[in-house]
Amino acid sequence: MLPSHTNFSGKIHGGYILSLLDQIAFACASKHSETYCVTASVDTVDFLQPIEVGELVTMKASVNYVGNTSIVVGIRVEAENIQSGKVKHCNSSYFTMVAKDKDGTNAKVPGLIIKSENELRRFFKSIKRIELRRERIDYSDHVKYNAKDMLHELEEYNIKIDI
């Protein structure tokens, strides 16, 4: 990582890492689908440890799940201090990519062949993340919000409501 990639605190900027993650997700999904892919959503991005200038960054991507036209790519980011050899896990993220044909419509993707228990675990965890996302969306779409209930629930938060 270069000094030009830093934020104001001297660590590698999270936005720069996100940009790299998106490129890696694109490459991984496009290779699996053998077609152009676009980012549909980013489910989780956990910044676990900062990346320092001069560290060697490795991003490991895997296709964790496939639907009809979508692919979930899991990415693990590690940074290595090239002087000490110490490697640290800095980031984990999950991108949902959608395959597109030449006309820009969604394209069917090849199925996933699971060859190890680790791949099976990743597939299962992807299914659970998808189920949780659907539950969260369904919940927020059906909750009725009114000012009285919101004010009561927000009492414990560090906010001032000036409506």
The answer to whether the pTM exceeds 0.75 is yes
Q: Which residues pair with 100 in a beta bridge?
A: 36, 106
φ, ψ dihedrals at 122, nearest 5° = -60, -40
Residues of the chain with pLDDT > 90, as a percent, come to 72
Which class would CATH give 3-153? alpha beta
Range 55-61 average pLDDT: 97
Q: What is the CA radius of gyration of the chain?
A: 20
Q: Give the closest residue to 10 by CA, choosing from 47, 53, 56.
A: 53
pLDDT band for position 47 (50/70/90)?
A: very high
Residue-level pLDDT at 32: 97
Amino acid letter, 58: T
pLDDT band for position 152 (50/70/90)?
A: confident
Sketch the domain layout of the chain as residue ranges.
Answer: 3-153
Token digits of residue 104: 């820009």
Count of CB atoms within 10 A of residue 12's CB? 22
pLDDT band for position 36 (50/70/90)?
A: very high
Query: For 18-133, where are the E strands, in sequence order?
Result: 36-47, 56-66, 70-80, 87-100
- Cα angle vertex 67, ends 66, 71, to 5°? 45
Residue-level pLDDT at 30: 97
Range 8-28 average pLDDT: 94
Range 54-73 average pLDDT: 97
Residue-level pLDDT at 112: 95
Residue-level pLDDT at 68: 97
Q: CB neighbours of 2 closer than 8 A, spacing ≥ 6?
A: 53
Rounded to the nearest integer, the mean pLDDT of the chain is: 93
Token digits of residue 46: 């956990």
